[in-house]
Structure 1
Amino acid sequence: MIEAADITEDAFLGGQLRLMQKRSGHRAGHDAILLAAAIDAKAGDRVVDFGAGIGAAGLALARRVAGIRLSLVEIDPELAELARRNAAANAIAAETIVLDVTAEPQAFASNGLSPDSADVVLMNPPFNDPARHRGSPDRARHTAHVATEETLHAWVHAARRILRSNGVLTLIWRADGIAEVLAALSRGFGSVSILPVHGEAGRPAIRVLVRAVKGGRAPTRLLPGLMLNNESRMSESAVTQILEGRAALPLVEP
């Protein structure tokens, strides 16, 4: 059990969402909020958040899009418990499932995630390359941040299995790994949209947000990059609106 002294409560979406999270280890931030802003769900959709952690991305999406049927999937029981508590504290209906995203299909089915049952999957998988990134000695932080060679393929495969035909997968990944993302999506996905995310204008992208459709056939779209900060290093008003949940990203279909 997590002691109260080991938990902080932090405001997201300009205070619309308050989340408890562990003081140490992986902590939710901009990546989760940008991912939520990139998803075009609608009321009634079954939405599954892979690697949900404390529930930041899924709950931020639920705050913007009322009426989704949200499942938060997390391998770490302590983080899953915080996700459950966060959903309750914010009066958001969500089920929390303790499950390894790389588990066998039977484990998914026994938790209500049968094939062709989801409309939307979102994911923020571990994406740091262990060959170039020194993993944290904190086990939870290491699990959340460092990927193996098979991580992305395994997560995308699991998403493909539970998504309905024309269901949508949206993920965030490090920008220099876009080739890995496209390779993982090459089986079963199409109609790919890519949004580069830049920390500063004039600098290379640090993240990519990617939207793909199961069975989609439209050409791949590379969208204009999102600049988190302008040249004066002040947050842009459009970015502020996104981070406060008042606007969506251009991956979202009109």
Structure 2
Amino acid sequence: MTSPLMDESLSRDRFLGGRLTLLQPKRGYRAGVDPVFLAASVQARAGQSLLDLGCGGGVAALCAGARNPGLSLTGLERQAPYAALARRNATENGLEMTVYEGDLTAMPGELRQIRFDHVIANPPYFRRDASVPAQAEDREGAMGEDTPLASWVEVAARRCLPGGYVTFVHRSERLPELLGAFALHLGSLELKPLLPRAGRAAHLVLLRGRKGGRAAFRLHAGLVLHRGETHDCDGANYSPEVSRILRDGDPLIFAP
């Protein structure tokens, strides 16, 4: 996808209870709650730096910036229209964000010289040797994996400062290879399952590692996303804790 995203093809969507209003394509790849959870899990403070690999329209990085004033934001995005959209979203929401255009495995030389306190990623979920490509080019670029997951982790670890953190959100079925890749490059691994409802299997996980960390692996209690056993009412039906994360900007704490 190389053509620019025209205004008539975009929607304006509210995040964090309206603290952010972000432009997204009406058709093609649209960010949901996953990048919001990812941003909420980052334990950042003013003066620190964050890199969002494959930043798309900037949802995860900008949510992190809105929650953490004074956090320096950087993104890397290979699809030029989305890189431009991330820059526009940052400007329209009064946030500063440097967005580099380039591929994960061949990133701009300037970015290769910088390391960050936090590196986050919401990589493509679906292996294309085991799933069907999306018809929309931009959606396929965001959801269909053509760069191995291990490469995402290796690049993230390289761009992370000693003592800094790498955090990914991903599908639970990819957890074995994700854990293996993290263990090769990072320590002090922590896993937070995201459960659709109480008693259900996790579909998503958050995995965090520390550059140079030496603490034992920690498997935390899962975060239950929705109330009740079934979805039997209108609306999202989020649990109170999740509502506070999505709408009020509360942190997503791995171990309360």
TM-score in terms of structure 1 length: 0.93
SS of 2:111 mapped into structure 1: coil
- Which of 112, 128, 137 aligns to 1:130? It is 128
- Which of 47, 51, 69 aligns to 2:50? It is 47
SS of 1:205 mapped into structure 2: coil
SS of 1:70 mapped into structure 2: strand
1:85 aligns with 2:120: no
Query: Residues 6-17 of structure 1 correspond to what in structure 2 (within 5 A)?
Result: 6-17=9-20
- The 8 Å contact of residues 60 and 245 in structure 1, kept in 2 or not, is answered as no
- Which of 18, 24, 28 aligns to 1:25? It is 28
**Structure 1 residues 245 and 52: CA distance shift in structure 2, 3 A:** farther
Aligned to 1:167: 164
Question: Percent identity of the aligned residues?
Answer: 34
Cα distance, 1:181 vs structure 2: 0.8
Q: Which moved more, 1:227-236 or 1:18-27?
A: 227-236
- The 8 Å contact of residues 172 and 208 in structure 1, kept in 2 or not, is answered as yes
1:61 aligns with 2:64: yes
Aligned to 1:229: 226
**Structure 1 residues 132 and 201: CA distance shift in structure 2, 3 A:** farther
Cα distance, 1:19 vs structure 2: 0.3
Aligned to 1:74: 77
Query: Residues 196-211 of structure 1 correspond to what in structure 2 (within 5 A)?
Result: 196-211=193-208
- The 8 Å contact of residues 39 and 251 in structure 1, kept in 2 or not, is answered as no
1:139 aligns with 2:125: no
SS of 1:154 mapped into structure 2: helix
1:183-225: CA deviation from partner (whole Å, max 9, x where unpaired): 1112120101100001122221010001100111101111110
Q: Distance in 1 between matches of 2:249 and 2:158?
A: 32
Q: Distance in 2 between matches of 1:249 and 1:2?
A: 32
TM-score in terms of structure 2 length: 0.92
1:193 aligns with 2:190: yes
Q: Distance in 2 between matches of 1:129 and 1:244?
A: 32
1:251 aligns with 2:248: no
Cα distance, 1:2 vs structure 2: 1.9
Task: Report how many residues are paired.
Answer: 247
Cα distance, 1:245 vs structure 2: 4.1
1:45-97: CA deviation from partner (whole Å, max 9, x where unpaired): 12100010000000000000010111011111000101000000000011111
Q: Distance in 2 between matches of 1:133 and 1:245?
A: 36
Aligned to 1:112: 111
- Which of 209, 213, 216 aligns to 1:219? It is 216
The amino acid across from 1:199 in the alignment is: P
Q: Distance in 1 between matches of 2:60 and 2:22?
A: 11
1:184 aligns with 2:160: no
SS of 2:127 mapped into structure 1: coil
Cα distance, 1:113 vs structure 2: 3.6
Q: Distance in 1 between matches of 2:154 and 2:124?
A: 15
Aligned to 2:234: none
Q: Distance in 1 between matches of 2:249 and 2:124?
A: 27
Q: Distance in 2 between matches of 1:248 and 1:113?
A: 30
The amino acid across from 2:163 in the alignment is: N
SS of 1:49 mapped into structure 2: strand
Find runs of 4+ consecutive structure 1 residues off by over 6 angstroms.
Answer: none
- The 8 Å contact of residues 37 and 245 in structure 1, kept in 2 or not, is answered as no
Q: Distance in 1 between matches of 2:212 and 2:26?
A: 41
Q: Distance in 1 between matches of 2:148 and 2:63?
A: 25
